Structure 1
Amino acid sequence: MQTYIASRAALDDACQLIDRFGDNAAFEAAVRAEGARDRGNVLRFCHWRQIERVIVTLASAEPDGTVH
């Protein structure tokens, strides 16, 4: 699965979570997404779900998609 990174801010958020939480970074992004959903903040929910997918992509050792 290829992951689209919407903005530099999204990549920065993913990198900050990786630096702070290490292997638990994707879990932390999921927790933040659930918190946003519980508060009814759809935009932040979508943001943190995307960050979760970016973290999983960055953590993968295997290439994804076309390798040039």
Structure 2
Amino acid sequence: MPYLCSRKSYDDASELIALFGDNAGYEAAARADQSRDRGNYIRFCHWRQIERLIVLLTHDAPLGTIH
């Protein structure tokens, strides 16, 4: 499971899903690549985390242990 350091991660993932639908993960990956190319590794890590979070948020079945 991805680590969420703040509410901003969830908000960014939700915004990309709303704007790009099924292509939200690709957009997060593109933003990560742009950040890496600029040498901004903090934002690179942020967008990679968002990319993984989008996969979890768009998955229809429960993941992990269900109590």
- Range class of TM-score, shorter chain: over 0.9
Instruction: After TM superposition, list the pairs within 5 Å mapping 1:26-37 onto structure 2.
Output: 26-37=25-36
- SS of alignment partner, residue 62 of structure 2: coil
The TM-score, its normalising length taken from structure 2, stands at 0.93
Aligned amino acid, residue 66 of structure 2 = V
Aligned partners of 1:42, 1:4: CA distance in 2, in Å?
17
For 1:65, the equivalent position in structure 2 comes to: 64
Structure 2 residue runs without a partner (length 5+): none
- SS of alignment partner, residue 67 of structure 1: coil
Q: Please, which moves more after superposition, 41-50 or 4-13?
A: 4-13
Instruction: After TM superposition, list the pairs within 5 Å mapping 1:14-53 onto structure 2.
Output: 14-53=13-52
- SS of alignment partner, residue 36 of structure 2: helix
Aligned amino acid, residue 12 of structure 1 = D
Structure 1 residue runs without a partner (length 5+): none
Aligned amino acid, residue 35 of structure 2 = A
- SS of alignment partner, residue 62 of structure 1: coil
The TM-score, its normalising length taken from structure 1, stands at 0.92
Q: Which structure 1 residue ranges, 4+ long, deviate > 3 Å from structure 2?
A: none
C-alpha RMSD over aligned residues: 0.9
